[in-house]
Amino acid sequence: MTTTIRRFVETDTGHRVPNHKSKCKHLHGHRYRFEAEIEGDVVEESGVSEEGMLIDFSDVSQILTEHIHDVVDHAFIVYENDLEARAALNLMGDQHRTVVVGFIPTAENLAKWAFEQVKPHIQTSYGNRLRLVAMHVRETPKSWASWRE
């Protein structure tokens, strides 16, 4: 039997979808929620800090903060081939937080990116077969995307 937990971090992040047929082609931002879904076995080793858990929620928060939040919060994510947006962002100088990525920053692609950032840091403790199952990205209250390996 396997147990699943989820923990999230939220960011205020800008992006654009340069080839979009509608308003998403404009520079804009979202209150993103990056949510990690982790599964494994509950730690049964007596007397350890994680007894009764898969992993401490605060450890998951630390991973999400360091590898997602602190990278993209109050930043603008821009596709490396979006030359117009990159030129506009360059006008703001080095004080502007710009994250250049090799993909169009849709919720779907950000879910995959976030998965790849978090996965190496979810490690098994006490033989409980811990693994990152999915990253879920909420772009708006009504719009989510998920990446599963």
Structural contact between residues 131 and 39, judged by C-beta atoms closer than 8 angstroms: yes
pLDDT at 52: 87
Structural contact between residues 10 and 105, judged by C-beta atoms closer than 8 angstroms: no
DSSP state of 74: T
Angle at 108 between CA 106 and CA 112, to 5 degrees: 115
pLDDT at 144: 97
pLDDT in tens, 86-135: 999 999 988 899 999 999 999 999 999 999 999 999 988 888 999 999 99
The average pLDDT across 38-53 equals 91
Please state whether 39 falls in left (phi above 0), alpha (psi between -120 and 50) or beta.
beta
> Which class is 3-148 in CATH?
alpha beta
pLDDT at 1 over 80: no
Q: What is the rounded distance in angstroms from the CA atom of residue 83 to the CA atom of residue 78? A: 9
pLDDT in tens, 2-45: 899 999 999 999 999 999 999 999 999 999 999 999 999 999 88
Q: What is the rounded distance in angstroms from the CA atom of residue 65 to the CA atom of residue 72? A: 10
Higher pLDDT, 120 or 1: 120
Q: What is the rounded distance in angstroms from the CA atom of residue 46 to the CA atom of residue 92? A: 55
Domain boundaries, the chain: 3-148
